[in-house]
Structure 1
């Protein structure tokens, strides 16, 4: 008799479990737009969900701790004139999120740590460059302020949101609609899928496709899922791929190894209701004391439900093998350094003592050459005192005044935050 050899892996027994009912987020009007993005983005501070909104597009941002029923008048992030199609948190600033819309624009928002009293309507920056709807956003993994957008115009734009400039435009790579875009771990290459059924690996700084003929797959996995879109999430720390079917009710997960057969099925988490979207928590936002290796935020029609993936361990000590050092919130490069050809791996942090998100950090946008802007050439006309060009000295004075006003507003926001925290402390002390 031959004995079957069982593959050794610490992730063979990973199991998924939905959070308790009081840990869900209830009464959220999740967007009904038929688009293939995840409709949800999460980081160690906030949960953001694209929602139904009249007269334009909107998304809601909730502090992670604000579970339970969400008030119908809870402030939204509004500003787009058409539905929001994708949102993505900046990996290097937990208070900054980008949104993409059918109105052809990308907006970058600063989210305060305190709950605003009214809708957030003014983005830090509006990026205009696409000629059709924008449905894909992806921040660079290692470079500060570098954001990728892709639209229905089959164009990929890479922006420096610190200046509002387009760094690179990839406008002749795709003959049809781009379905998805993803950076590699150090941001030197892109992988894209397209309606022409071709997967491309692109060097964006050279503007070249470096691979798109993969011939035979190294592994083929039959999926008993519907025709809905599969949302893939990859955890490089554990080499696990999670596949969430949009419109499906399952999360299937596989371990990737260097030896054949390369892809190893682990398990399937199933629930009764289908998911309309899915958020995936960065590793630094997980609870290491509970051996949590992944956390999803599953969107239903009217709520968002956390789903926790855990490796069963009896010891309550820190599990070094489950938690290697993982990417932290500090960028490894500036945008100009990356554009010039430099590459750097993510700056890693240890999760041994858990992760505490840093305090509110403001994204500063500096438009370049603002004093060198010249009026367009045209026929001369007489100028009155009101429309005469400003002198450089006057412009510099105005800029200094604007800077002083901005600093004053920031100081007031910090004071308001401190007072709100003090009030919360007093309220908690009386309970």
Structure 2
């Protein structure tokens, strides 16, 4: 009898597991800023963590392979004059990262493929347009070089980072913006705000096209994300300060599709969404657990699956894009949990006996190619992400130049060392110059060590010949 009423789902038995101690990242001083950001961003190549730093803002970027203890002198990305509040990897280039800070700016960085040998202080472009701290950065899901920022001046600015230009500015929010999420094709985004309203905005029309007052009755911060089918998943608090989640149809905001009370904890619930599996992972700040749910068309629409629990509370969380998971182990998600002094990857796996590729777990997923240029999007075009197969796993492409259809600020970026000033800076992308410089340094060091070895050998030889005379 009971078997017939159990809901069938291939994700019903997903289980979480912390990696072995040596596969974590140790001795990281995670930022103590009170901003409700995830403090962490990850992609198939790199892990970025916002850290404590004296005299300004800094964050750490580690190749995923650099596990274990992080040297306290490991070079960081520095450049902001105030604490960094949010970071986000570009979905179309695994070497491009955006950051924003209390210094009222956002910056875009090109991270070299090799290990950093010195602090990175030269952003590709500095985006200046906010009058107060910038707390949110998020890339457009399908258009190249489009970045959205939101600040404590209650402004939302959409930028073309290839040219450094602000394209769209919206000032529809009367109070602090808590969260912003693009929909799947980037035609709309939804926001939550301190005025307790959930809004759906069309940036190209520069207008709010739908809104709902108090989707959650409590006054504490809310979060909202678009799902694959255009609904909006929210987390917030009841009037009695219980944590709550909701699912909404933005074309009919009157009644929720689903509303579910969770517990009485006071940490803000950060939702991480997997569009391929239609699953959402809820990570509460200060919690030591991750709850995960599946969203379907059948009542109750948001189905609780399980809870992953560990001993220590999380300060923040990073969520790996689907193309970065290990298909050979039936891993469907990987989260990076920030503690006070370390970062622990957590793998989410569907137990399967077969070693073959599991087609049902891995539909084609959003790949790294943008579906359109900034001008196409600005002209009103909408495109879904370009999908790639996961069958053979995913190999990140090498670092490449950030392209823009208009004049690109990268093309005229001055070279930082005179030793390559004879090179035409327009003819080589910056990351190639960076790599050439590193190789030159490496060759110089090799030549120097060989010269020393030759001198030592010559001295020994002369001593030998003198001795035999």
In the superposition, the TM-score normalised over structure 1's length comes to 0.87
User: What is the aligned partner in structure 2 of residue 238 from structure 1?
Assistant: 277
User: What is the aligned partner in structure 1 of residue 434 from structure 2?
Assistant: 413
User: What is the aligned partner in structure 2 of residue 349 from structure 1?
Assistant: 388
Q: Give deviations 1:370-392, integer Å, cap 9, x for gaps.
A: 9xxxxxxxxxxxxxxxxxxxxxx
Task: Work out whether residues 124 and 365 of structure 1, in 8 Å CA contact, stay in contact via their aligned partners in 2.
Answer: no
User: What is the aligned partner in structure 1 of residue 222 from structure 2?
Assistant: none
| Shift in CA distance, 333/295, structure 1 to aligned 2, threshold 3 Å | same
Q: Please say which of residues 209-218 and 60-69 is displaced more in the overlay.
A: 209-218
Distance in 2, Cα, partners of 1:3 & 1:12: 14
Distance in 2, Cα, partners of 1:168 & 1:218: 32
Task: Work out whether residues 225 and 248 of structure 1, in 8 Å CA contact, stay in contact via their aligned partners in 2.
Answer: no
Task: Work out whether residues 84 and 102 of structure 1, in 8 Å CA contact, stay in contact via their aligned partners in 2.
Answer: yes
User: What is the aligned partner in structure 2 of residue 263 from structure 1?
Assistant: 302
Task: Work out whether residues 143 and 371 of structure 2, in 8 Å CA contact, stay in contact via their aligned partners in 1.
Answer: yes
| Shift in CA distance, 88/356, structure 1 to aligned 2, threshold 3 Å | same
User: What is the aligned partner in structure 1 of residue 164 from structure 2?
Assistant: 164
Could you tell me how far 1:411 is from its partner in structure 2?
Answer: 5.0
| Shift in CA distance, 417/284, structure 1 to aligned 2, threshold 3 Å | farther
Counting only pairs closer than 5 Å after superposition, residues 169-208 of structure 1 correspond to structure 2 as: 169-171=169-171, 173-208=172-207
User: What is the aligned partner in structure 1 of residue 246 from structure 2?
Assistant: none
User: What is the aligned partner in structure 2 of residue 299 from structure 1?
Assistant: 338
From 299, 309, 312, the counterpart of 1:273: 312
In the alignment, does 2:146 pair up with 1:107?
no
User: What is the aligned partner in structure 2 of residue 69 from structure 1?
Assistant: 69
Q: Give deviations 1:73-98, integer Å, cap 9, x for gaps.
A: 00000000000000000000000000
Task: Work out whether residues 106 and 128 of structure 1, in 8 Å CA contact, stay in contact via their aligned partners in 2.
Answer: yes
In the alignment, does 2:343 pair up with 1:323?
no
SS at match of 1:414: helix
In the superposition, the TM-score normalised over structure 2's length comes to 0.80
Task: Work out whether residues 400 and 431 of structure 2, in 8 Å CA contact, stay in contact via their aligned partners in 1.
Answer: no
Could you tell me how far 1:407 is from its partner in structure 2?
Answer: 4.5
Task: Work out whether residues 297 and 304 of structure 1, in 8 Å CA contact, stay in contact via their aligned partners in 2.
Answer: yes
Q: Give deviations 1:153-186, integer Å, cap 9, x for gaps.
A: 1110000001000110011x11110000000000
User: What is the aligned partner in structure 2 of residue 397 from structure 1?
Assistant: none
Distance in 2, Cα, partners of 1:105 & 1:418: 33
Task: Work out whether residues 112 and 435 of structure 2, in 8 Å CA contact, stay in contact via their aligned partners in 1.
Answer: no
Task: Work out whether residues 145 and 404 of structure 2, in 8 Å CA contact, stay in contact via their aligned partners in 1.
Answer: no
Could you tell me how far 1:420 is from its partner in structure 2?
Answer: 9.5
Task: Work out whether residues 164 and 365 of structure 1, in 8 Å CA contact, stay in contact via their aligned partners in 2.
Answer: no
| Shift in CA distance, 15/369, structure 1 to aligned 2, threshold 3 Å | closer
Task: Work out whether residues 328 and 346 of structure 1, in 8 Å CA contact, stay in contact via their aligned partners in 2.
Answer: yes
Task: Compute the RMSD of aligned alpha carbons.
Answer: 2.2
Distance in 2, Cα, partners of 1:149 & 1:299: 24
Task: Work out whether residues 110 and 362 of structure 1, in 8 Å CA contact, stay in contact via their aligned partners in 2.
Answer: no
User: What is the aligned partner in structure 2 of residue 16 from structure 1?
Assistant: 16
| Shift in CA distance, 76/318, structure 1 to aligned 2, threshold 3 Å | same
Could you tell me how far 1:250 is from its partner in structure 2?
Answer: 0.8
Distance in 1, Cα, partners of 2:364 & 2:100: 32
SS at match of 1:336: helix
Task: Work out whether residues 99 and 107 of structure 2, in 8 Å CA contact, stay in contact via their aligned partners in 1.
Answer: yes
Could you tell me how far 1:116 is from its partner in structure 2?
Answer: 2.1
SS at match of 1:314: coil
Task: Work out whether residues 14 and 311 of structure 1, in 8 Å CA contact, stay in contact via their aligned partners in 2.
Answer: yes
User: What is the aligned partner in structure 1 of residue 231 from structure 2?
Assistant: none
User: What is the aligned partner in structure 1 of residue 466 from structure 2?
Assistant: none
Task: Work out whether residues 114 and 417 of structure 1, in 8 Å CA contact, stay in contact via their aligned partners in 2.
Answer: no
Q: Give deviations 1:386-407, integer Å, cap 9, x for gaps.
A: xxxxxxxxxxxxxxx8981464
In the alignment, does 2:391 pair up with 1:334?
no
Q: Give deviations 1:337-368, integer Å, cap 9, x for gaps.
A: 00000000000000000100000112257985
Could you tell me how far 1:5 is from its partner in structure 2?
Answer: 1.0
Distance in 2, Cα, partners of 1:80 & 1:366: 28
| Shift in CA distance, 265/411, structure 1 to aligned 2, threshold 3 Å | closer
Q: Please say which of residues 356-365 and 13-22 is displaced more in the overlay.
A: 356-365
| Shift in CA distance, 221/402, structure 1 to aligned 2, threshold 3 Å | farther
Could you tell me how far 1:196 is from its partner in structure 2?
Answer: 1.0
User: What is the aligned partner in structure 2 of residue 396 from structure 1?
Assistant: none
Unaligned runs of 5+ in 2: 213-252, 410-420, 444-469
Distance in 1, Cα, partners of 2:111 & 2:279: 31
User: What is the aligned partner in structure 2 of residue 254 from structure 1?
Assistant: 293
User: What is the aligned partner in structure 2 of residue 141 from structure 1?
Assistant: 141
Task: Work out whether residues 179 and 194 of structure 1, in 8 Å CA contact, stay in contact via their aligned partners in 2.
Answer: yes
User: What is the aligned partner in structure 1 of residue 58 from structure 2?
Assistant: 58
Task: Work out whether residues 373 and 404 of structure 2, in 8 Å CA contact, stay in contact via their aligned partners in 1.
Answer: no
User: What is the aligned partner in structure 2 of residue 150 from structure 1?
Assistant: 150
Could you tell me how far 1:421 is from its partner in structure 2?
Answer: 10
Q: Please say which of residues 359-368 and 278-287 is displaced more in the overlay.
A: 359-368
